[in-house]
Structure 1
Amino acid sequence: MQYETVGALGIFLGVVARFWPVWGALALVFAVSLSFRKRLGLYGHLYASPAGIAGLAICFFWLFTAIFADAVAPFDPLQQIAVMKDAPPGAIVPETGGVFLLGGDRLARDVFSRVVFGSQIVLLIAPAATLFALVVGTMLGLPAGYHGGRIDKVLSFLANLVLAFPVILLFYLLVTPGVRETPLPQWLAGIFFIFPMIFFGTLVYTGFSSRPGLLAVLLVAVVLLGGWVYAGLVFDADPLGVISIAPNELNIFVAVVFASSPGVFRIVRGLTMDIKTREYVAAAQTRGEGPWYIMLWEILPNARGPLIVDACLRVGYTTILLGTLGYFGLGLAPESPDWGTAIKESSRLLRAHIHPALPPVVALMSFVLGLNLLADALREQALKD
């Protein structure tokens, strides 16, 4: 079929123009950040590094793309226009005059719109799952490194047991359709998702125990907010209807937390074993502070540098894993616009039509590159400090 198309320059200008809210948000954030960077601590120091600026620009670009996806994307990611099947980049939609800027896929959907909406899925699952993994690994790594002995041996053995499995095989076992039908993912979710409540509850209790009034208010807030999130994520029973997660998304979420937590555990354990020998920890022990106060308020803040660097890298690893799962057909639903699924769908006709595969590949690669650059800048700053 012959399509009426715009030229390469028209495609480029059209793509740039569609991102107008993203450019505006980037300009505003960078202008404010550069003006106050001396007051912004570690975040402000990133603007002194070319790698930091590049990493922030790429990560913010995809963050604002996800936020403004409805304004950026010209079509619904699931909308099918029959005549636009495998349409080349720049093809004009008959009658409406709309343009498939990056072409159409084999199901006649706009590739550009699907890449834009796919950023919402990636930027929701990867950072959130990594954050949960950090909390789980931290809550287990702190007592293992601080107390040592039998606690350390048991927790280290369990962590090494999980790490002994190849990551892809572990993910395959956790998200394969046969496992999805069992209650195992929900049980694991019930265990993992209670760790943030324990973490923040312990943090509040140890930090504000001398102020009973404020302590009571904060503990109630932790229980209410934590219970609300817990009910929505684990049981899909959010009374407000705000938090909802599909079963396949829950499986992927649990798989990421399960596979990433042991790595975080080993990092936190090693940092704790080093930091607990410092003088300020000995001073806290002399004052009679409890173990959890020392771990959460003395050791953890001084371990934040390596943990932030690891978090950036781990979000990138998780993004790649999500793409890999989607490519193997073990990710989200087949109609999902996430980048891994998009790559899988377009790879079936790769020899005949390469244009549907390139945008999600470039999107995934650029986001991971931005996270790696950000991690490098954070590592450089940590070495300076």
Structure 2
Amino acid sequence: MSVFVIIYFACLIASSCLAAYYEKRPTFLTLFSLTLISFVLGIVGGVPALRFVATAAGLLAFAAGISFAFREFIVIIAPANISKEVRTAPLTAAFGMFVIFTYAIAGIFAPWIAPYGESEVIASAFAMPDENMLLGADQLGRDMFSRIIYGARNTVGLALLATLAAFFMGAFAGLLAATKGGWFDQFMGRFADVIMSIPSLIFALLMLSIFGPQVTVIIVAVAIIYAPRVFRLTRAVAGNVVVMDYIEAAKLRGEKTWYLIRKEILPNSTAPLIAEFGLEFCFVFLLVAGLSFLGLGIQPPTADWGSMVRENATMISFGEITPLIPAAAIALLTVAVNFVVDWMLFRSSGLKE
């Protein structure tokens, strides 16, 4: 039995005993369950399996610590009403907010964070990582770390703009349809059904093939694809609001449609719409990355995570994980946004209760 195994199980058992002594039941169950799992994995897989479990547990503990510290930081600096809400947020939501904050900082300050330009050739093709290139070079000799930092600005920025366009179109149409009713509501509903019946990826590929892979075309195509989804939810939420008594009272006062939408309906529909915005961003983000992977998204030499995966995929055959880093960046942001959206749904809308 190696020293690592002895120290590993000693730490787990000691931590479990301390948690039981101080009556920290959830912590005790977690630690002792990890001890039992490690015991079984140690018998089956030996020391390598235990090292893997220890590394995974260490990463989870580190993420939990960062999430807790970031949540406390927001509680201290935020206004009182926001601090009260954030204080009750689970660690998963705090982790999601920390990841989103990190991506935002990387995207905004990319020229100052990245050591090289996004299209600057500084080494030979597929050069190995060194003290100057943390992640090595790509197929043209450009710094992978710098391109990933710039990709946070380009990929996430494009997805955010496309989501804003889709959300504005869909939400405005849904609120207007719920308020007007009648033939306009029926027409918008059937039109949304027609758009939703078209596969999103095929529609995007058709638009980009006809008009070319330009940023404006991508934004318009994505907005057309996802606006009907926002319309359906907005129409459903606003439809439950327009039948309320205070809406009827506002109509009897002679209030116009725009006043009803802006002052009465929209404030009472905010919670599910904000959650829907986060979900739509995830869908749009994955679609934009997928289009770039197919070569019809953001065009070279602009750094983009989807195209970086495609351009450096051959490195996987040589045991290099560099192409997986931009893919992991895409997956991490998607999971982080879903964590935050899940908490907002549970806290505000009550849809999960």
The TM tier, using the shorter chain, reads 0.7 to 0.9
Would you say the 8 A contact 1:145–1:152 is kept in 2?
Answer: yes
TM-superposition CA deviations, 1:160-187 (whole Å, max 9, x none): 11100111101101112x323xxxxxxx
Residue in structure 1 matched with residue 178 of structure 2 by the alignment: 145
Q: What pairs up with 1:85-104 in 2 under 5 angstroms? A: 85-88=125-128, 90-92=129-131, 99-104=132-137
C-alpha distance in 2 between matches for 1:353 and 1:40 = 50
Q: What pairs up with 1:194-209 in 2 under 5 angstroms? A: none
TM-superposition CA deviations, 1:136-183 (whole Å, max 9, x none): 11221112122222111111111111100111101101112x323xxx
Offset of residue 374 of structure 1: 0.8
TM-superposition CA deviations, 1:263-311 (whole Å, max 9, x none): 1111111111111112221221232211221122100111110010010
C-alpha distance in 1 between matches for 2:274 and 2:349 = 13
Q: Larger RCO: Structure 1 or Structure 2 (Cα < 8 Å, ≥ 6 residues apart)?
A: 1
Would you say the 8 A contact 2:75–2:86 is kept in 1?
Answer: no
Percent identical pairs in the alignment equals 28
Residue in structure 2 matched with residue 186 of structure 1 by the alignment: none
TM-score when normalising by structure 2: 0.75
TM-superposition CA deviations, 1:57-98 (whole Å, max 9, x none): 010010001112122211112111343x2123x324xxxxxx
Offset of residue 349 of structure 1: 4.3
Structure 1, unaligned runs of 5 or more: 1-25, 93-98, 181-246
2:103 counterpart of 1:62: yes
TM-score when normalising by structure 1: 0.69
Count of aligned residue pairs for this structure pair: 284
2:330 counterpart of 1:364: yes
Give the SS at the match of 1:100: coil
Would you say the 8 A contact 1:112–1:359 is kept in 2?
Answer: no
Give 2:244's aligned amino acid.
Answer: R
Among 135, 138, 142, the residue aligned to 1:105: 138
1:120–1:290 Cα change, 3 Å:
same
Would you say the 8 A contact 1:342–1:357 is kept in 2?
Answer: yes
Would you say the 8 A contact 1:82–1:108 is kept in 2?
Answer: yes
Structure 2, unaligned runs of 5 or more: 1-66
Residue in structure 1 matched with residue 250 of structure 2 by the alignment: 284
Offset of residue 39 of structure 1: 2.5
1:156–1:383 Cα change, 3 Å:
closer
1:27–1:272 Cα change, 3 Å:
closer
Residue in structure 1 matched with residue 190 of structure 2 by the alignment: 157
Offset of residue 256 of structure 1: 1.3
1:60–1:256 Cα change, 3 Å:
same
1:170–1:330 Cα change, 3 Å:
same
Among 267, 284, 289, the residue aligned to 1:318: 284
1:171–1:81 Cα change, 3 Å:
same
The structure 1 segments of at least 4 consecutive aligned residues displaced by more than 2 Å after TM superposition are 26-33, 36-41, 352-356
Q: What pairs up with 1:1-385 in 2 under 5 angstroms? A: 33-37=74-78, 39-41=80-82, 45-50=85-90, 51-83=92-124, 85-88=125-128, 90-92=129-131, 99-176=132-209, 178-180=210-212, 248-352=214-318, 354-383=320-349
Would you say the 8 A contact 1:37–1:44 is kept in 2?
Answer: no
CA RMSD of aligned residues (A): 2.3
